[in-house]
Chains A and B, each alone.
Chain A
Amino acid sequence: MNRANADNGYRFGSLPKNAPLAMAYVPLQESVSPSYESMEALSRGTLFPGLDLPLMNMVNSELKMCPLTEMMAIDFVADELELYLDTHNDDSEAFAMYQTFLALKKEVRSRYTKQFGPISQDDLLGAKRYSWPDDPWPWEYQPKMEV
């Protein structure tokens, strides 16, 4: 093996076709039915009943739709699309879906911060006062969490 082949293009910063980084065994997962509808999936933590294996049978209570839930749901989809696009950035269908969710995210986020306060300090642009330190912080127990 000559030197040029020995490193499989390692230094060129792109994934060569002949150099699998790892071999993994992944059981075939059915991508269609049965699957949860989206709100139930968000609450269960998976779309697929076959992957729904809660520890000691402890499960989330049903999520209620509220501005915070709506924002988390959209962020969740955007985050997952980002991870997919990191390794598939030529998938135009996925990128179009990502664009849709970025627009939705901006809209929902701006509605949320107007009502409940800043999520990041950038949201304070034009605010009446510096409300960043205001309670509650995200880790604090709130008996009534309807935000």
Chain B
Amino acid sequence: MFVYEKKLQYPVKIKNPNPALAKFIISQYGGPDGELGASLRYLSQRYSMPYPELKALLTDIGTEELGHLEMIGTLVHQLTRNMTPEEIKKAGFETYFVDRTAGVYPTAASGFPWSAASMAVKGDVIADLNEDLAADATIL
């Protein structure tokens, strides 16, 4: 099970909101190579992993990715604080804003909502570790 810690893994303090930047950063939240996909990829691959070392590693990395997800969500949230209608239009943020306002929605920068189609869980050690290498080479 999981227990929440009321702190970020690393502090986020953005003095100047910047919705133009938030348009790109949000892909790291809910895009094909984002943190949501990363955490679900590792946490879901655990069940068919036969080796204790790698059960531990997938659990710990998958958990840490949830911490990364929270930091990216915080970045998007702080980048889109106190926007005026002019700032929203100037930044090209209006296509996001019309549907989600300043909510932090798991989506790719293209506007495509987060999809499990962007990850693979095959129940095979080699296939899954190759998937991890392709998605996030830092696991090995």
Question: Which A residues are within 8 Å of any B CB, using their own CB?
Answer: 10-11, 13-15, 21-22, 24, 63, 68-69, 71-72, 75-76, 79, 82-83, 86-87, 89, 117-122, 132, 137-139, 141-143, 145
| Main SS class of interface, A | loop
A-B contacts besides A72-B9, A137-B6, 17 pairs, CB < 8 Å:
A14-B52, A21-B54, A21-B126, A24-B137, A68-B11, A69-B11, A71-B7, A79-B60, A82-B60, A83-B61, A87-B56, A87-B57, A120-B3, A122-B3, A139-B8, A141-B14, A145-B11
Determine the residue in chain A with the shortest Cβ distance to B17: A141
- Assess the A145–B50 pair: CB atoms within 8 A: no
- Assess the B125–A139 pair: CB atoms within 8 A: no
Determine the residue in chain B with the shortest Cβ distance to A89: B53
Determine the residue in chain B with the shortest Cβ distance to A14: B51
When A and B form their complex, what is the total count of cross-chain residue pairs whose Cβ atoms lie within 8 Å?
84
List the A side residues contacting B11 at CB < 8 Å: 63, 68-69, 72, 145
B33 at the A interface (CB under 8 A) = no
List the B side residues contacting A63 at CB < 8 Å: 11
- Bound Cα distance from A145 to B60, whole angstroms: 28
Encoded as 1 (CB less than 8 Å from any A CB) or 0, chain B from 104 to 127 comes to 000000000000000000000110
